[in-house]
Amino acid sequence: MSTWADRTEVLKPRDDRPSYRERDDRDRRGDDFLDRRRGPDRDRDRDRDPRDRDIHRDRDRDLRDGRDRDRRPPPPLFNHKANPIALSSIKQHRLKHAWTLWYTKPSEGTLARDMRSYSEQVKPLMTFRTVEEFWALYSHVIRPNKMQPSTDYHLFRDGIRPLWEDRENKKGGKVFFRTPKIHTNRTWENLMVATIGEQLEPAEEICGVVVGIKFGV
């Protein structure tokens, strides 16, 4: 029958075992797996087949590599140093007609447009002839719901200005509808895709489409 003193001796930690701090320090130094083992365990390993020691060494190295990978910072979501893919390297899908995206901006210092001629406020952004060029342009422009009031986008066939004075528009008309501002982006995107894809009828008679942000809408 053992005494209480005997039981307390059994519960004492072994002096020959390294502390947790020593183990962490040796892990960081990259000490060999077998060298970290002390006493009879290490002596017994010396008598083992050398191939067994190699297996333990490789396994320990894999564990250290895994811990190192966990400490590395995550990769960036976007690599700003990478070279962008040129559109010329991508297969192009040509549209039936070329299109130009225009915009109108209010006069500086006021939202009224009567201080300058309307034709002077209409500015072209870009002309595109392929599907890929369209999406490259659209991905960089401000969405309609972010524009200030009295600012418009005009998507017209190349060669036709978004003015009633243009000879292609003189005898034409327009159809307009209103939509809540929260739906403006998706509605405008669908309308542009349908227009350049010749999905609106009669396609040959449509000169362009316009989106405008109004006060209180």
Please check whether residue 161 is in contact with residue 211, taking contact to mean a CB–CB distance below 8 angstroms.
no
Peptide bond into 202 cis (omega under 30): yes
Query: Which residues are paired to 130 by β-bridges?
Result: 94
For residue 204, give the DSSP letter. Answer: G
Sequence-separated (6 or more) residues with CB below 8 Å from residue 217: 178, 180, 181
Q: Tens of pLDDT along the chain (217 residues)?
A: 544 444 444 444 455 555 656 666 665 555 444 444 455 555 555 555 555 556 566 666 666 655 555 455 544 433 444 444 455 567 788 999 999 999 887 665 544 445 457 777 888 999 999 999 999 888 888 898 888 888 899 999 999 999 888 888 888 888 888 888 889 999 999 999 999 999 988 888 899 999 988 766 5
* Sequence spans of domains, the chain: 15-71, 87-212
Check: pTM over 0.85? Answer yes or no. Answer: no
- Structure tokens of 148? 């200030």
> Under the phi-then-psi rule, with left for phi > 0, alpha for psi from -120 to 50, and beta for the rest, what region is 142?
beta
Domain 87-212: give its CATH architecture.
2-Layer Sandwich (3.30)
Q: How far is CA 178 from the centre of its chain?
A: 31
Strands 152-157 and 122-130: unpaired
